[in-house]
Structure formats: C-alpha cells, structure tokens
Amino acid sequence: MKVVARRSEGFAHEIEIEGGHTIVADEPAELGGEDSGPRPTRLLAASLAACTAMTMELYAERKGWELGQVEVEVETEMNKANPVSFDVKVTLPGDLDREQRDRLLVIAGKCPVHKVVAQGVPVTVSEPAEAT
C-alpha cells in the first residue's frame, strides 16, 4: 500500500491513498493552519476507531452474530501535539449475551491499528535514490 502527502497550501496536505481515495490533513488556525482537515494525530485516532469497529463487525459476521449498530469512541490524551494515550470506548447493541460482548471486546484490541499503536512498528525515513 502506498500513501502520498503533498502540500497544497500552508500546512494543509492533500493525501492520496492507494485505491483512489483522497483526504486532507491540516493544522488548526491557532497553530498556523487553515483547519481545512483534521490534524494527523486526529486521523490516527479516527483510524483506530474505524479499525476497531470494522474488526468487531468482521468477527461477528464470521460467527453469524447479528451485531447491529456499533459505536467506537476514541479519546486521545495529548502532551502538546503528541498523543500519550488512547481510550477506546465500545458501545455494543443490547441484544448480545455477556459471552459475546466479552469476546468482542477482546477482538476490539486485536485490530491492526491497535496493534501498531500499542506495539509500534519500525519506521524508516530516507530520500528516494533518484533524489540524491
């Protein structure tokens, strides 16, 4: 998968995501941006929320459980511009039994974004060979 961010104006960046998707990230006005899109750390929290919900929904589908409406809320504690913790709250429909609910909460912690955030993955930064 490939993602490319290109500066559009000020701090705003248009982000092209493989598969034909485009989103905008920016900084809020109080930090010099135009607030034309969420900050990158908010995109990370949004990715965690979406991934958590989708992971539970895929699991429930495989089990043949009718999951219905799921809501995932992520609160991010920040230290200046850096996230220091994510608090994930999952709201499940009321017609699931205790065993199903407990299993879905375990599965919620197994989403790929949760794993990356919790365990970390190596990140390298370099210039492409043709740029040097």
Boundaries of domain holding 49: 39-120
Q: Are residues 9 and 27 in the same domain?
A: yes
For CA atoms 95, 70, 68, 115, the dihedral sign is negative
Verify that 84 and 94 share a domain, yes or no.
yes
Give the pLDDT band (50/70/90) at residue 14: very high
Q: Are both 22 and 49 inside the same structural domain?
A: no
Residues in the chain: 132
* Tens of pLDDT, residues 16-40: 999 999 999 999 999 899 999 999 9
Residues 54 and 85 in one domain: yes
Mean pLDDT of the chain: 94
Q: Looking at the structure, tell me whether residues 91 and 50 fall in a common domain.
A: yes
In angstroms, the CA 9 to CA 87 distance is: 33
CATH code where residue 59 lies: 3.30.300.20
| 81 and 26 belong to one structural domain | no
Question: Mind listing the pLDDT tens digit for each residue in 57-70?
Answer: 999 999 999 998 99
DSSP states of 116-132? HHHH---------GGG-
pLDDT at 131 over 70: no
pTM for the full model? 0.90
100, 48: one domain: yes
Q: Are residues 70 and 110 in the same domain?
A: yes
Supply the pLDDT for residue 96: 93
* Total structural domains within the chain: 2
Instruction: For residues 75 and 109, state if they share a domain.
Output: yes
